[in-house]
Structure 1
Amino acid sequence: MASAVAQGGTRLLVLLKGVAQVIFQANPWTGLVFLVALFAGGWQFGAFGLLGTVVATLTAHLLGVSWDERVSLGLEGFSGTLTGVGLVLYLEPRPMTVLLVIFGAIAGSVLSSALTVLLRPYGLAASTAPFCVITTVMVVGGSAFSRVWAVHASTPAPSAAAPGTGLSWTYLWQGTLSGVGQVFLQDQWYVGLIFLAGLVLAGWRLGVIALVSSLAGLLTGWLLGAQAADLGAGLYGYNSVLTGIALFGTFVVATPASAVYALIGVVAAAGFSAGIGNLFAVAGGHTLTWPFVLVTWVFLAAVPMFSRIRRV
């Protein structure tokens, strides 16, 4: 009996780590706070995000992915988390979406392993690329299937209802917090605040990096003339948050030189967001975390050329 309880507790910790690994953390308490934040954004985000985490983690375990090196650290769960949140956001909570999340999480697990193998010689991680690929394919292709597209969410940019480039104080502070929440596709500032609390639980420096990166992404968008409502919703901050944390302390040793390097990456991710968004909008897709993935891969691949910057 005690053994069964212990095993159940271990599985729960692995799932919570899977949620936390969306922002590179293997801390189960951080994962628990992230999960609370998802439910605060809406029951469907918490439920479908958890479903994706469970299926992706279970798939990797059943296929024999290393428990000690990957599964136990939550590294096989986070793309499933985002896939569940993304699909329920764009396709609404209904039985067909449940099936798509299950299939998407399974396919994402296989793709994650494939990318891990392909990228290993270059010292790169798959990151959220499996989520980006699976969600993009399903959402773009969804319109061809009546049972998938019969009920789908209308997700226009906030600026469609409130155009203008004047950045108010409200947009500034709400956008900075929402930039953290948008990592999980959540645009409410208070949900972003809960996610921020989860990061601080893993380390106060992470919270500072996330806030600075989100603000830098927002200001980059503002300087370039982005719509203020989109800035206020965090649409120019979340890829910068992931990029900043990845390039300063997670994959690159934290030094003054790497801080500057990370800041360049943060700005690049924000600027790249509009280009990726416009590209995928033509086919009915979304920006997701593509800017973070592509910018981080490029910046990490370039590190061996720079003597003042070192990989972790």
Structure 2
Amino acid sequence: MKDLRLSATGLEVDHDGAPLQAFADTVLRGLGQVMLQNNSYAGLLFLAGIACNSPVFAGAALLGTLASTLAAIALEADRQMLRQGMFGFNGGLVGIALLCFLQPTPLAWACVALAAAGSTLVLAALQNALAAARLPVLTAPFVLTSLCVLLASTRFGRLQASDLLPTPGLPNGASLEGVATASTLGEGLLTGVGQVFLQDNMLTGALFILGLFVASRRACLAALAGSLSGMLVAWAMGAAEPAIRSGLFGYNSVLVAIALSGAALAPGRIAIACGLFATLATPFVTAASAAALEPLGLPALTLPFVLVTWTALLASRFSTS
């Protein structure tokens, strides 16, 4: 078709031709934007990686991205941002989180569609609220929407938690658990990337890394560095070996490293300094966030990524203020 052509980032559509193909490409870009990549090839590899671990999670990610994108269309959102997938990635993450921490009943699937669409409204509100501070929204709509639904589920008898949702209770003092080995670090390196989409699977992580490599070698290297640094800091501080192996201390560092390696901060010495410090600090914020939310029985999700990245971006302006 004359209206369609492939580019380095995905499908390009001239004018208003081929609307279905353009929409499909937009949805894939939405999945790619979870790791800050405006690239539908990356989005397709991310979706394939999720499907390798769980077809249910892949379906939830797709439904969430579709619902949040359609909500943005209904709200007549900015067409360029819409085409870049900026209104899809929070909804995709909402879909995975709800089907991860809730039993996958028909009602839970309906909540996925509703909450994912709602995350677009939260995104629009946060964009206006953060405009004066010149801060990106990042995955804050995903975090706020998902935590709201998960907390509400404790009062709704027809929404049952899965065994992955933390048990409410006061945080206990940590003790050394297991011995981290080369196998721990090798597996944790991949699962740390996979956990960005809440996927504890080495093959999934490998496909995500491939997707990043296709979209941006800089982002790919940043993701690997972030996962490795998150693991090493957690290991040095005495975190439990199973948590390190599962990538639970890596995925927020992955996102912080990608964001501050150029996606949210212009490349340069300040970006390198802020990125390095922020990536090393992220495991501490991850542990603190998990402990703070444990009494409510809620997961930290990507809250540490949001908090650390916002702090780093604001701090980076200090030298020019």
User: TM-score, with normalisation over the residues of structure 1?
Assistant: 0.92
Are 2:97 and 1:79 aligned? Answer: no
The answer to whether the 8 Å contact 1:181/1:191 transfers is: yes
2:49 maps to amino acid: A
> How do 1:80-229 and structure 2 match up within 5 A?
80-149=91-160, 152-155=161-164, 164-229=177-242
Aligned to 2:64: 52
Among residues 14, 23, 38, which one is paired with 1:26 in the alignment? Answer: 38
- Structure 1 residue 5, shift from structure 2 partner: 7.5
- Structure 1 residue 141, shift from structure 2 partner: 2.0
2:103 maps to amino acid: E
2:164 maps to amino acid: T
Aligned to 2:171: none
Rounded Cα–Cα distance in structure 1 between residues aligned with 2:279 and 2:40: 27
- Structure 1 residue 165, shift from structure 2 partner: 4.3
Rounded Cα–Cα distance in structure 2 between residues aligned with 1:156 and 1:283: 10
1:47 maps to amino acid: G
Are 2:274 and 1:261 aligned? Answer: yes
Deviations 1:21-51 (A, max 9, x none): 0011110101100110111110111101000
Are 2:249 and 1:240 aligned? Answer: no
Superposition RMSD in Å: 1.9
Count of residue pairs the alignment pairs up:
301
> How do 1:276-287 and structure 2 match up within 5 A?
276-287=289-300
TM-aligned CA distance change 1:5 to 1:258, over 3 Å: closer
Aligned to 2:10: none
Percent of residue pairs bearing the same amino acid type: 32
The answer to whether the 8 Å contact 1:165/1:226 transfers is: no
The answer to whether the 8 Å contact 2:29/2:38 transfers is: yes
Which runs of structure 1 show a deviation greater than 4 angstroms over 4 or more consecutive aligned residues?
1-5
Deviations 1:169-215 (A, max 9, x none): 11101101111010000111111111111000012221111001110
Aligned to 2:22: 10
Unaligned 5+ segments in structure 1 are 158-162
SS in 1 for 2:79: coil
Higher helix share: 1
2:93 maps to amino acid: L
Rounded Cα–Cα distance in structure 1 between residues aligned with 2:193 and 2:266: 22
SS in 1 for 2:78: coil
Rounded Cα–Cα distance in structure 2 between residues aligned with 1:205 and 1:134: 30
2:122 maps to amino acid: L
Rounded Cα–Cα distance in structure 1 between residues aligned with 2:245 and 2:165: 14
Aligned to 1:160: none
The answer to whether the 8 Å contact 2:193/2:254 transfers is: yes
The answer to whether the 8 Å contact 1:107/1:134 transfers is: yes
The answer to whether the 8 Å contact 1:165/1:222 transfers is: no
- Structure 1 residue 255, shift from structure 2 partner: 2.2
Aligned to 1:306: 319
Among residues 36, 39, 47, which one is paired with 2:51 in the alignment? Answer: 39
1:34 maps to amino acid: F
Rounded Cα–Cα distance in structure 2 between residues aligned with 1:277 and 1:248: 25
2:315 maps to amino acid: A
